Amino acid sequence: MTKKVIERLKNYQLEVDESRKKEILLLGVAHLKSQKKRISYLEFALFTIRFISLKTWLIQFAVLGISLLVILNNPLGLVYTLIKNLTGLLIISLLFFMEELFKSFTSGMWELEQTFKYDLRQHVLVKLFIFGFIDFLIVLSFSILTNLLFRFSFFSMLLYLLVPYNIVCIVLFYSLSRWRNSGNHRSAWFVLGMALSILFVALNLFNPYRMAVIYWFLTYLMSLLILALLFFKQLKKLTAGGMWNGTQS
């Protein structure tokens, strides 16, 4: 900047509207205070739901509708066949929910989500709670319907659906947290497919429904504990870059 320009700038007088200046400062202070204000958990959940894709919700409604048709059209004497069918449909629902949950990491969106008011860890937690709550309501409704229509034990039905659900959650959660980039992401789905195949072969060959309910209950508690430990262990490994680091101890 030349001396001539500097001299001209010194001679230039800028008129300041003090009232307008004060108004802008007050608006800025109010905006900063609103940014610091914490919203309720319900408001946060409703805010997060807006970012869940419409495709995911449509698939869930489709799975729910098919499940209801399967229940209503199932013969009275084939309850265990019904349980296997519902288990398969429930796992399909789980797969699409998990894909939505890990979308930030598998599609390279974590950079954008890191700019949100609430960090990526909080969004993952809320999404997980929403998906888990919805799936639990689905399992609960299936158990109530089978109890009313087939006089089948409500508690047994609950366990027969929740145990394989938890096992698949463990395999899926572990697989997707170990393979992080897009190429290895396909490997994770391959491992999951193999695990699902083994699960369905076991259900058909060994008929675990003959076991006493107490063993199902103990298996449920163990799977729930493993799932909780795995989740919180991985949650601590969310780095500043927003990636699930499955290689750290």
In whole angstroms, give the CA distance from residue 107 to residue 190.
18
- What parts of the chain have a pLDDT lower than 50? 181-183, 239-249
In whole angstroms, give the CA distance from residue 6 to residue 12.
10
CB 82, CB 146: distance < 8 Å = yes
Write out the two tokens for 239: 């780095």
Between the alpha carbon of residue 30 and those of residues 19, 23, 187, 191, the distances in Å are 17, 11, 50, 52
Q: Within the chain, how many helices (H) and strands (E) appear?
A: 11, 0
Per-residue pLDDT of 5-18, as tens digits, reads 677 766 766 666 67
Of 160, 17, 189, the residue nearest 82 (C-alpha)? 160
pTM to 2 decimal places:
0.71
What is the gyration radius of the CA atoms in the chain, in angstroms?
26
For 29-80, what is the HEC assignment? HHHHHHHHCCCCHHHHHHHHHCCCCHHHHHHHHHHHHHHHHHHHCCCCCCHH
pLDDT of residue 19: 77
pLDDT of residue 245: 44
pLDDT of residue 181: 46
Per-residue pLDDT of 117-150, as tens digits, reads 666 667 777 888 888 888 899 999 999 999 999 9
